[in-house]
Chain A
Amino acid sequence: EAGVAQSPRYKIIEKRQSVAFWCNPISGHATLYWYQQILGQGPKLLIQFQNNGVVDDSQLPKDRFSAERLKGVDSTLKIQPAKLEDSAVYLCASSLNRGGSSEAFFGQGTRLTVV
């Protein structure tokens, strides 16, 4: 079974530029999460989708971050314009959420450096 795919693996941009990250979850997983992980810290939830609907985006800085999950499968996370403090690893995860299984499967993440 293929895991969660993310791209790109690495991205370096200048502040005020835009960037987009892509995530392909495990087939059949209804729940998709985007987390931001700053170096040395635990993952912080940015947004959670259930199919193509948003469950929680309370910690998403909506003035600069946006995310969508078209057709309830792939998802993109965009930052426009980027700030220095956005430098972090952006992790995508998916979960089946059926039959009591709540395990989240993570991609390798996209490491963003804003200079």
Chain B
Amino acid sequence: TQLLEQSPQFLSIQEGENLTVYCNSSSVFSSLQWYRQEPGEGPVLLVTVVTGGEVKKLKRLTFQFGDARKDSSLHITAAQPGDTGLYLCAGHHNAGNMLTFGGGTRLMVKP
């Protein structure tokens, strides 16, 4: 049973469109991490958000941590084919350094 629910599971859009991916949980986390995974590779960290309400930007990607530190969103502006991949959110607990992943959102950006 996944403690973190991601939506949507799949997203296929045209180049230039905007999109938002959501990550929701009933648990409070010390921090929340977003990873991107390409076929045949392990996940790679994009960003960590720590403070409730925190917003971080990474070029065209904007990450937000919910005020209660239970949910997060990833917004991509003007998506490009290079953004194609599996986006994973992961909740981290400082105690024990435990890291739990959501089910992932598979994004395909068509040229």
- Size class of the B contact interface (CB-based, 8 Å): 20 to 34
Residues of B within 8 A of A33 (CB): 99
Any B CB within 8 A of the CB of A106: yes
Counting CB contacts under 8 A, is B51 at the interface?
no
Given contacts A42-B104, A50-B97, A102-B31, contact A108 B42 (CB under 8 A): yes
Q: How many A-B contacts are there with CB distance less than 8 Å?
A: 68
Interface of A: prevailing SS: strand
In the complex, per-residue mask of B37-59: 1 if CB is within 8 Å of any chain A CB, else 0? 00011111100100000000000
Interface residues of B (CB under 8 A from A): 2, 4, 6, 30-31, 33, 40-45, 48, 88, 90, 92, 94, 96-104, 106
Q: Which residues of A contact B (CB under 8 A)?
A: 4, 31, 33, 35, 40-45, 48, 50, 55-56, 91, 93, 95, 97, 102-104, 106-109
